[in-house]
Structure 1
Amino acid sequence: MQHTTAPSIAVVIPCYKVTRHILGVLAAIGPEVDRIYVVDDRCPDQSGAFVREHNSDPRVVVLEHAENQGVGGAVMTGYQAAIADGADIMVKVDGDGQMDPALIGDFIAPILAGEADYTKGNRFFDLEQIGNMPPMRLFGNAMLSLLTKLSSGYWDLFDPTNGYTAIHREAARHLPFGKISKRYFFETDLLFRLNTLGAVVQDVPMDAVYGDEVSNLKISKIVTEFMAKHVRNFCKRVFYNYYLRNMSLASIELPLGLLMVTLGSVYGGLHWMESAHAGLPTAAGTVMLSAMPILMGTQLLLAFLAYDIASVPRRPLQQRGRLARAVLPRG
């Protein structure tokens, strides 16, 4: 008779100036969790020492950084410790009290069911709740969501900056921890890395809760730093998925579409400037020679996007891992 053990669930809590809320967060974590990793990210309030002094939960393990590494660095430290201790699923919860630990079951359910490798919160699911979201935060998240769809390849996800997440060890152990962005871009960069692994990601509906915390999401950061990183990740993802690992019709559609749109735009622009300088209308034939490659190139680019949207990973890594272990010879 074969005996199976229940999956081990771990919670990772990055801590930075959260001493007012951390004990309440720890107390609200239910019995379904086996281990809790509190990561003191060089907190000026010494969150780690505070938890050691006031916490009585035997599940809590305090980890401390010698230098501040940002929320991403703290989460990855927790992931690595949990993987080393044999955790099967790792849930990331912030220590500021804005994420309800009662939702942990909702986040791990798709992973336990074998339907996903990674789950993340989505505060945009309930239309009634969206009205309570600050307008600037709503606009910023909408912009980031669009950029993240392009750069990560997960076209069916929204609210990319949502930090309430859960991940299966089969996906986490393949992550390049040394390359993932450690600060504000962490959640978005992680999605890009998961796509290159072929991991299945699902959104989990949750309410938007805002207390007295100060948002670090700035439009200037979206337009400058985040935009450059999204372009970088998009180029990397396209190269990895459409040229390095596989070739398809989409591998031809993208460069050909870009080339035709560029040539049509440059040709039309140059002749329009010449005609404007001479004070003459642009010839109809010239307009057609410019418009045709632009239209055809646009169609090719849309065809590439359609292929990319249809290529969102659907088979979880954990299923592939179980299949590989099942067919490997024993002894």
Structure 2
Amino acid sequence: MNAPSTTNDLQVASGAAPSVADAIAVVIPSYKVTRHILGVIEGIGPEVARIYVVDDKCPDGSGAFVREHCRDGRVVVLEHAENQGVGGAVMTGYRQAILDGARVIVKIDGDGQMDGSLIPSFVAPILAGEADYTKGNRFFNLERLGSMPPMRLFGNAVLSLMTKLSSGYWDLFDPTNGYTAIHADAARYLPFEKISKRYFFESDMLFRLNILGAVVADVPMDAVYGDEVSNLKISKIVTEFLAKHVRNFGKRIFYNYYLRNMSVASIELPLGLLLTGFGTAYGVSHWIASAHSGVSTPAGTVMLAALPVIMGVQLILAFLAHDVASVPRYPLHKKTLYRRNQ
């Protein structure tokens, strides 16, 4: 078989791999994974037409390692002159796969945690027209969660809640799962330069997809942990993730409920926040004054504080109910296909 081709500055050497047009491509970000990456490539089935290994300025020279030891003719090596993070590596692979005419682009990690035999399961909902983007969910089978380290289990639960709020995909879980697949017609609309390039990449992708109105579906998979070393330190990214989730939540609400569309929910949220804030501030201020004076707060004052809070909370809950019901249901790639056929 032919040796894998190599690229510099994202240019693909011609004639080194079979055509990927209208087929499945796989992107593998490569950074300190030389112990596992050959096994990952070997585990990818014949349904895949091309495999892009993106060397993200790996200190171990994983790109050169793959070129030297891999004899799979589907493999194309892309190299970064500077480290860009997992998001940057995936975007590089997406761009090249789109240029080569891929129909579906799968992303798996090179550390051996992701089973290549599951690729058909990730691709099937997209090819069936049921989704634009699929992602793994390690929480589907509760009996298998014992293999997940407790810190990761807790961290994923917290991050899932924050991601539901910021992305608007209330029916998804395990947001940091990097096993994903996307239809090329959805990927081409992504703002590649704006998507977070490092550890926030997966969560930011969901936010961007929601803004596009893409349908996202979870695919059940088992958690697998071996001797790989994670570069993600929860203690270092909690504050960063929280700030970015708050930013994305604000942007999503503005884009979806005020800039592109307006509904009753557009009134419920600000009015609910206003009433809750007024009632809380009014009640706290009079409680402090009562504590200092030693005089009991009149019942009328208590009611004047409680009623806005009750009404405000009800309005916020009504907004959340509307938001949960607004998860995209019609695949974006079907819309783009329809437009191109006009």
Whole-Å separation in 1 of the counterparts to 2:60 and 2:201: 23
Q: Please list every run of at least 4 consecutive aligned residues from structure 1 whose deviation after the TM superposition is greater than 2 angstroms.
A: 213-223
Partners of 1:55 and 1:217 lie apart in 2 by 28
Q: Counterpart of 1:280?
A: 295
**Aligned with 1:67: secondary structure?**
coil
Cα distance in 1 between the residues matched to 2:238 and 2:32: 28
Tell me: CA distance 1:267–1:185, structure 2 relative to 1, closer, same or farther (3 Å). Answer: same
What is the deviation of 1:55? 1.0
Correspondent of 2:250 among 217, 227, 235: 235
Structure 1: how far apart are the matches of 2:212 and 2:258? 15
Alignment partner of 2:48: what SS? coil
1:129 aligned to 144, 149, 163, which one? 144
Aligned counterpart, 1:294: 309
Give the superposed CA RMSD: 1.3
Q: Deviations over 1:276-312 (max 9, x none)?
A: 1112222211111111000000000000000000000
- The answer to whether structure 1 residue 303 and structure 2 residue 318 are counterparts is yes
Q: State the shift of 1:31 in Å.
A: 0.6
Mapped to 2, the partners of 1:44 and 1:156 lie a distance apart of 39
Match of 2:228 in 1: 213
Contact 2:54/2:63, CA 8 A, preserved across alignment = yes
Rounded Cα–Cα distance in structure 1 between residues aligned with 2:287 and 2:230:
47
| Gaps in structure 2 of 5+ consecutive residues | 1-19
Any idea what the Cα deviations from partners look like across 1:149-168, whole Å, max 9, x if unmatched?
00000000000000000000
The match for 1:63 among 75, 78, 88 is 78
Q: CA deviation at 1:323?
A: 1.9
Unaligned runs of 5+ in 1: none
* Corresponding residue number in structure 1 for 2:263: 248
> Displacement, 1:216?
4.2
What TM-score comes out, normalization by structure 1 length?
0.95
Pair 1:20–1:235, CA change in 2 (3 A): same
Q: 1:44 aligns with which of 59, 66, 88?
A: 59
Alpha-carbon shift at residue 219 of structure 1 (Å): 4.0
Letter in 2 for 1:263: F
Secondary structure, counterpart of 2:315 in structure 1: helix
Structure 2 residue 223 is matched with structure 1 residue 197: no
Q: C-alpha separation between the residues in 2 aligned to 1:6 and 1:63?
A: 18
| 1:196, distance to aligned residue in structure 2 (A) | 0.2
What is the SS of the residue equivalent to 2:196?
Answer: coil
Shift in CA distance, 99/229, structure 1 to aligned 2, threshold 3 Å: same
Q: What SS is found at the alignment partner of 2:285?
A: helix
Letter in structure 2 aligned against 1:128:
E
Deviations 1:53-73 (A, max 9, x none): 111111110000011000000
Checking the alignment, whether the CA contact within 8 Å between 2:166 and 2:249 is kept in structure 1 is yes
- Secondary structure of the 1:321 match is helix
Shift of 1:212: 1.6
